Amino acid sequence: MFWNEREQRLRAGWRIASQLVLMTILLVVFQTVKNLGVRFFLPADPDPAGIEIANFLTQVGSNLVIAFSVFTAVKFFDRRGYQDLGFHRGKDWWKDLGFGLGIGAVVMGLIFVCQLALGWIRITGTFSVPEGGIPFLPAIFMPLLGYIAVGLAEEIWIRGYVLTNLAEGFRNTLSRSAPAVGSAAVFQAVLFGVLHANNPHASLLSTVNITLGAGMFALGYLLTGELAIPIGLHIAWNFFQGNVFGFPVSGGSSQAAQFFTIHQAGPGLWTGGDFGPEAGLLGLLGFVLTCAAVIIWVYFRQGRLKVDNRISSPPFQEK
Q: What span, in angstroms and rounded, lies between the C-alpha atoms of 124 and 260? A: 7
| pLDDT beyond 80 at 48 | no
Q: Of 38-42, 149-153, 314-318, where does the model show the most confidence?
A: 149-153
| Reported confidence tier of residue 106, pLDDT bands at 50, 70, 90 | very high
Which has more pLDDT, 133 or 107? 107
| pLDDT beyond 80 at 175 | no
In the prediction, which pLDDT does 177 show? Answer: 75
| pLDDT beyond 60 at 135 | yes
In the prediction, which pLDDT does 117 show? Answer: 96
In the prediction, which pLDDT does 24 show? Answer: 96
| pLDDT beyond 80 at 49 | no
In the prediction, which pLDDT does 154 show? Answer: 94
Which has more pLDDT, 45 or 103? 103
Q: What span, in angstroms and rounded, lies between the C-alpha atoms of 85 and 159? A: 8
pLDDT tens, position by position, 70-101: 999 999 998 888 888 889 888 999 999 999 99
Cα 227 off chain centre by: 11
Region 58-81: mean pLDDT is 92
In the prediction, which pLDDT does 80 show? Answer: 84
- % pLDDT > 70, the chain: 95
Domain boundaries, the chain: 87-312
| pLDDT beyond 50 at 2 | yes
Average pLDDT over the chain, rounded to whole?
A: 89
Region 206-228: mean pLDDT is 93
SS3 string, the chain, reads: CCEECCCCEECHHHHHHHHHHHHHHHHHHHHHHHHHHHHHHCCCCCCHHHHHHHHHHHHHHHHHHHHHHHHHHHHHHHCCCHHHHCCCCCHHHHHHHHHHHHHHHHHHHHHHHHHHHCCCEEEEEEEECCCCCCCHHHHHHHHHHHHHHHHHHHHHHHHHHHHHHHHHHHHHHHCCHHHHHHHHHHHHHHHHHHHCCCCCCCCHHHHHHHHHHHHHHHHHHHHHCCCHHHHHHHHHHHHHHHHHCCCCECCECCCCCEEEEEEECCCHHHHCHHHCHHHCHHHHHHHHHHHHHHHHHHHHHHCCCCCCHHHHCCCCCCC
User: Which residues are CB-contacts of 265 (< 8 A; sequence separation ≥ 6)?
Assistant: 119, 120, 121, 122
Region 286-312: mean pLDDT is 91
Q: What span, in angstroms and rounded, lies between the C-alpha atoms of 67 and 71? A: 6
In the prediction, which pLDDT does 6 show? Answer: 77
| Reported confidence tier of residue 185, pLDDT bands at 50, 70, 90 | very high
Q: What span, in angstroms and rounded, lies between the C-alpha atoms of 48 and 139? A: 11
Region 8-34: mean pLDDT is 92
pLDDT tens, position by position, 228-270: 999 999 999 999 999 999 999 988 776 688 999 999 888 999 9
| pLDDT beyond 90 at 27 | yes
In the prediction, which pLDDT does 65 show? Answer: 96
User: Which residues are CB-contacts of 313 (< 8 A; sequence separation ≥ 6)?
Assistant: 168, 171, 177
| pLDDT beyond 60 at 319 | no
- % pLDDT > 90, the chain: 59
